Amino acid sequence: DTGVSQDPRHKITKRGQNVTFRCDPISEHNRLYWYRQTLGQGPEFLTYFQNEAQLEKSRLLSDRFSAERPKGSFSTLEIQRTEQGDSAMYLCASSSAPTGAWETQYFGPGTRLLVL
């Protein structure tokens, strides 16, 4: 299967702990996105990479959140000093589109985070 993969699928942590999630995009996709989904809502954009450059960050991405894509392949999303409000499904998506073309984003299975 060559779709988007995410690890871990589930994470339970205590408030104040740090957590890190990994996303492996579809091979050769140059764009990678992170979204967050809470119960009853649609996914909300967090941040976006083109190759290794982080080009856009949502105001939802507080200072406790950091994302990297060091070699333009996989990406990590770290949450420091987790809070109960961080409990959500964290989704990764990737796409490949020439500049100016409409792009379709393909999503991974998500990482469900529960902060106790």
In Å, how far are 2, 39, 80, 100 from 67, measured between CA atoms?
A: 23, 23, 11, 25
Shortest Cβ 112–other proteins spacing (Å)? 7
Which bin fits 100, alpha (ψ -120 to 50), beta or left (φ > 0)? left
* 88 vs 91 by CB, closer to other proteins: 91
CB atoms within 10 A of CB 12: 11
Shortest Cβ 116–other proteins spacing (Å)? 19
Shortest Cβ 2–other proteins spacing (Å)? 15
Nearest to 59 by CA among 73, 41, 45: 45
Candidates 44, 51, 85, 114; binder of other proteins (CB under 8 A) is 44
Shortest Cβ 78–other proteins spacing (Å)? 20
Candidates 13, 30, 58, 73; binder of other proteins (CB under 8 A) is 58
Q: Tell me which residue has tokens 């993969």.
A: 5
- Show contacts with other proteins in window 65-84 (CB under 8 A): none
CB atoms within 10 A of CB 33: 24
Point out which residues bind other proteins (CB under 8 A): 4, 6, 31, 33, 35, 40-45, 48, 55-56, 58, 91, 93, 102-110, 112
